[in-house]
Structure 1
Amino acid sequence: MTTHARRIAVATCRDAWRADEDAPLLAEALAAAGIDAVEEIWDDPAVDWAAYDMVVIRSTWDYALRRDEFVAWADRVAAATELRNPAALVRWNTDKRYLAELAADGVPVAPTEFLLPGGSVTEPAALADRLTEVVGRTSGFVVKPTVSAGSKDTVRYAALDEDPGGLATAAAQAAELLGADRPVMVQPYLAAVDTEGETGLVFLGGRFSHAFRKGPLLEVGGGPVTELYALEAISPRTATEAQRDVAERVLAAARARTGVQELYARVDLLPDEDGTPVLLELELTEPSFFLSTDAGAAARAAGAIVAALDA
């Protein structure tokens, strides 16, 4: 009886081939665990996904304009071998309208308004009125597509009292996205982004691993992010009990919604005006883990993958 060395594919995209800072740390930890990890481009038709014991989605950051193609790819890979996270999570998590479902489940979510293509409000003039209704005149806000990665096509606007002209720009952005058949989301810009920053909580193998702080990404009037991803200011952080409690509630709700246990997750939180942690985003598809912010994180990520292979 013979055994073969276990091989996994780490799915990435062409522009992220060497941009994923987690990749070398994860590869080293997997090698130490006896796993041969090979980077593969997710949309490369020459890749034989069935040749791998598992495919782990990592830096597939260019899928936003091709979500249907990406979801179909996930289904094909899942039919050929183990895919993590599973295709059901990919389908659910790659459109941020999942936030409305989690809010309906009682999870504390940052206030979010969704605008849909083909709806009654799609023209710039009507969108300007709708945006004023949604965000008021005293709060800064963010407009972005519901399918995006790395803050791409995301714009921060000042409060309308401070910059009335920004309303026309925001309405034009929303109209352009809707005209391209891309649903739009509008969120208030919570002041804590600029002071406390976001807290990202990383879960590996269903267990909390580590947390990090993400500094503010967007400047007022900075225009949409057009690169593959926005550069981020990341530093270590210790998660509070309240943050961990909210993150656990988020994941429990996601598991109940999808019926699927995730291999990895990242829960991005921010305090609201009362200091209560609220969900900005749940990353179950291609999140950076920022492994360098915790000395044991890479080993835990590799251990979670090994445990999934063993299962």
Structure 2
Amino acid sequence: MSRASSKTLYDVVILTDVRYLNDSKIDHYKHNVYYEDRLVYHALEQIGLKTLRLPWDDMFFDWSSTKAILFRSTWDYFDRFDEFSDWLEQVSDQTLLLNSETLIRWNIDKHYLLDLDQKGIHIAESHFIEKGAKTTLAQIHDILNWKLTVLKPCISGAARHTYKLTSETLEEHEAIFQELIKKEAMLLQPFQHNIVNKGEISMMVFNGHFSHAVLKTAKAGEFRVQDDFGGSVSHYTPSEEEIKFSERAVSACPEIPIYARVDMFEDNNGKTTLSELELIEPELWFRLHKEAAMLLAQGVLERIRSLGDMSHNP
């Protein structure tokens, strides 16, 4: 377990990226990011934790001067993955990461879905295309006999290079596919009609326990539910089955994360299905459930206290 130095100045540093460091009165999206991070900031301060909010790539901050760092809106990491990976390795030796480096590195690549599948978590049907594969989209679709699919990178975020494919559009996407597969692994999945028709449920789970949920729906004519693409978010009251599913998915992780977002939907066969398990920097919609910020803050306090207890034990 990593340790901060004996000259700690802060209990928690909340991590963002520089684009979202300051509030905006004209950009609604940036304001929401700032506002949600501030809700967490104030909750941490309210329970007595000295807190700071910084971009993860701040060159001048001594990361050993904080007991813990909490990943929140670090939404440029997948565009700067090599740089982020090097930074992650360095900072993990200096302080406590929430979530841990182990969880981040496991969750950063969508191959983690195979681990969850092996542990009995129902995932969307998936076909992984490894980096450097010598194949074409037409060949893959022919072998799998899939007609309508979604292609995405195994390391991605904000729907980067996510494409809806049909037999008529394979040829026009072939060039970008060949360019991508030279550099990174890709994931192909059958198109899930219910994500468009019914929406995708996001379940927030703190320290293994369900907190709250939202329903994400795509705008007309769009298949991606992210607000980057015009998607909308509303309150959602999940069933007991959905709550149990989300908590089981989190319990299947290599370790219990302090926060997790379980994205789930009803698949084409009508079965509750995991879409993604977000453990690195998920939007958690505190603006719709302000009390949840305190749940997260209390979990952070418990982790810091347990770290302190361990440091005093031989």
Q: TM-score range by the shorter chain?
A: 0.7 to 0.9
Contact in 1 for aligned 2:208/2:247 (Cα 8 Å) = no
Residue type of the partner of 1:284? L
Residue pairs, 1:20-169, within 5 angstroms: 20=33, 21-121=35-135, 126-134=136-144, 136-137=146-147, 140-157=148-165, 159-160=166-167, 164=168, 166-169=169-172
Structure 1's 29 and 220: CA in aligned 2 closer, same or farther, altered over 3 A? closer
Contact in 2 for aligned 1:131/1:171 (Cα 8 Å) = no
Contact in 1 for aligned 2:133/2:181 (Cα 8 Å) = no
Q: CA RMSD in A?
A: 2.5
Identity of aligned residues (%): 28
Q: Distance in 2 between matches of 1:240 and 1:65?
A: 36
Residue number among 215, 218, 222 corresponding to 1:216 in the alignment: 218
CA deviations over 1:257-310 (Å, ceiling 9, x no partner)? x2x231111110011123221111000111111112224212212222222222
Corresponding position of 2:310 = none
**Superposition TM-score, scaled by structure 1 size:** 0.85
Q: Distance in 1 between matches of 2:39 and 2:56?
A: 20
- Where structure 2 has 5 or more consecutive residues not aligned to the other structure, the ranges are 1-6, 23-29, 307-314
Q: Distance in 1 between matches of 2:173 and 2:121?
A: 28
- Tell me whether 169-178 or 86-95 shows the greater mean CA deviation: 169-178
Tell me if 1:17 matches 2:16: no
- Tell me whether 18-27 or 188-197 shows the greater mean CA deviation: 18-27
Secondary structure of 2:252's match? Answer: helix
- Tell me whether 19-28 or 128-137 shows the greater mean CA deviation: 128-137
Contact in 2 for aligned 1:144/1:153 (Cα 8 Å) = yes
Corresponding position of 1:300 = 295
TM-superposed CA distance for 1:188, in Å, is: 1.7
CA deviations over 1:17-49 (Å, ceiling 9, x no partner)? 243242122122222222232111112221211
Contact in 1 for aligned 2:109/2:155 (Cα 8 Å) = yes
**Superposition TM-score, scaled by structure 2 size:** 0.84
Q: Distance in 2 between matches of 1:10 and 1:210?
A: 21
Q: Distance in 2 between matches of 1:185 and 1:202?
A: 25
Q: Distance in 1 between matches of 2:18 and 2:142?
A: 40
Secondary structure of 1:153's match? Answer: coil
Structure 1's 135 and 285: CA in aligned 2 closer, same or farther, altered over 3 A? farther
Tell me if 1:194 matches 2:196: yes
Secondary structure of 2:245's match? Answer: helix
How many residues matched? 289
TM-superposed CA distance for 1:218, in Å, is: 9.2
Corresponding position of 1:237 = 236
